[in-house]
Amino acid sequence: MPFFNLFVFFVEAVFYFTVMLTLLHFRRRLGLGVFLTALGVMHFLETYLAAVFYVELPFGTVSPGSSILFAGKLMLILLLYIKEDAETVRQPIYGLFLGNLMTVAIGLLLQFHAVDGVGPVKDAAFIKEMGWLMLWGTTLLYLDSVAIILLYERLGRFMPRRVVPRFLLSGIALLTFDQIAFFGMLHAFFDVPSSAFWSGWAGKMLAAFIYATIYFLYRHMRRAGEPYAATRPLADVFGDLTFRERYEDLLARSGRDTLTGVFDRARMEIDVPAMIRESLQSGEAISTVILDVDHFKSVNDRFGHLAGDEVLKALADLLRNAIRGEDRLYRFGGEEFVIMLPRLDHPQAMERAEHLRRLVASTLSTADRVAVTISCGVASGPEDGVNFAELISSADERLYTAKGEGRNRVCGQPSGSVADA
């Protein structure tokens, strides 16, 4: 009998995941709501089965609700994230969470009903317990979903082209966490024996391998039938669909300085610490350039603040077009700008800053045709600092050294050694 149950378990897992994957695949034709509704409908069944229905398999007692349906839902959410974005993934998660809150509330209200004038509904207590169990399961699902996405992204650093192994490893890790947390609730509410923990974990691991295999076959069939997917690197295809790409695209449209259109100081204080940390952890250099418009106050005094604003806008446009795609330009405040230069060591950053200085001097001018010039301070990690505050402080100190040495120059040494114009 345990081996027959294992066969049925396998059929159930294949049937559930294949149908749901098909709905996800055809979401453009059927509408994403079909997939999301099916996912939500199965949520109650999985919670109910996890509470009351267990079968014997060769490795122990498991519940198909927990091992098949919940494991499948978590991995389907990861697939939805891969194919869409995090904003779409949040919709079923919050929908399930709010729906379960309503279940708990209605379960409480049902106890006040009278049936045929006899008394309260006898099963209302069970409904209430189910509501709390579903609420706990959905809370875990929210944590699991966020964590599985982050883990999937993190594994992409080490195996960017091995999508299915990332999918499987992410599922294994988070299903293990979920088994620990969800089993505690089952044990407390329904007296599920401790011996069921390991068998339940084994059931989830088996389901994860089944789902990863189905996903592998799905990807293989799609690649075979789609020349575009076959000729394009898989990392690029999936990189276009990941949350990080969408998140960075969203950030690219926020945190902008209203005058110049470049990133503002608030955005810099969010971005730059992470850029420095990631560069140094990967063993790559990163450099910072702080630049200031020379004698900018005199421009405002002679031609007015509107003319000064035009100089700043022209400077920002010139700098934005002159830097690399991976560089970041921020307005630090007033007439000061900060440029982050990933993967450039100090000599390279000095050369880049000198190029920008010469470009500005030869391109921009005031209304009376006087050249606009800039002074620059350059600092590089890790030699000048290993965090945001240290690099910015070093670069800022060298900027003032450059200005004190006569302006229109680049300084990259604490002693005030400069590259003159």
Domains, the chain, ordered by start = 2-239 (no CATH), 255-419 (3.30.70.270)
Helical residues (DSSP H) of 161-295, grouped into ranges: 163-190, 196-225, 227-231, 234-239, 243-252, 265-281
The residue whose two tokens read 């509501």 is 131
Nearest to 296 by CA among 406, 375, 353, 362: 375
Residue 306 backbone dihedrals phi, psi, to 5 degrees: -65, -40
Percentage of the chain surpassing pLDDT 70? 83
The residue whose two tokens read 């700098």 is 319
Nearest to 178 by CA among 309, 70, 311, 39: 70
Q: For strand 374-381 and strand 410-411, is the pairing parallel, antiparallel, or unpaired?
A: parallel
Q: With bands split at pLDDT 50, 70 and 90, how would you rate the model's confidence at 420?
A: very low
Residue 20: CB atoms within 10 A of its CB come to 22
Lowest-confidence region among 104-113, 286-295, 349-358, 359-368 = 104-113
Q: Within the chain, what is the greatest distance between any pair of CA atoms? A: 96
Judged against a pLDDT cut of 90, whether residue 153 lies above it is answered with no
| Token pair of 358 as six digits | 């010469």
> Collapsing DSSP states into helix, strand and coil, what is residue 161?
coil
**Inter-residue contact 189 to 133 (CB < 8 Å):** yes
Judged against a pLDDT cut of 60, whether residue 214 lies above it is answered with yes
Give the distance, in angstroms, between the CA of residue 396 and the centroid of all CA atoms in the same chain: 32
Preceding amide of 64 cis, omega within 30 = no
DSSP class of residue 66 equals I
Judged against a pLDDT cut of 50, whether residue 352 lies above it is answered with yes
Mean pLDDT highest for which of 32-41, 49-58, 160-169, 331-340? 331-340
Mean pLDDT highest for which of 91-100, 248-257, 276-285? 276-285
Q: What is the Cα–Cα distance from 356 to 120, expressed in whole angstroms?
A: 80
Q: Tens digits of per-residue pLDDT, 59-71?
A: 888 889 889 998 9
Q: What is the Cα–Cα distance from 26 to 104, expressed in whole angstroms?
A: 34
**Inter-residue contact 392 to 372 (CB < 8 Å):** no
Angle between helices 163-190 and 196-225 (to 10 degrees): 150
The pLDDT assigned to 337 comes to 96
Percentage of the chain surpassing pLDDT 90? 40
Average per-residue pLDDT for the chain? 82
**Inter-residue contact 113 to 120 (CB < 8 Å):** yes
The residue whose two tokens read 């391998």 is 209
Count CA atoms within 13 Å of residue 349 on its CB side: 28
**Inter-residue contact 391 to 402 (CB < 8 Å):** no
The pLDDT assigned to 363 comes to 93
Q: Tens digits of per-residue pLDDT, 292-330?
A: 999 999 998 888 999 999 999 999 999 999 999 889 999
Beta bridge partners, 378, equal 289
**Inter-residue contact 417 to 411 (CB < 8 Å):** yes
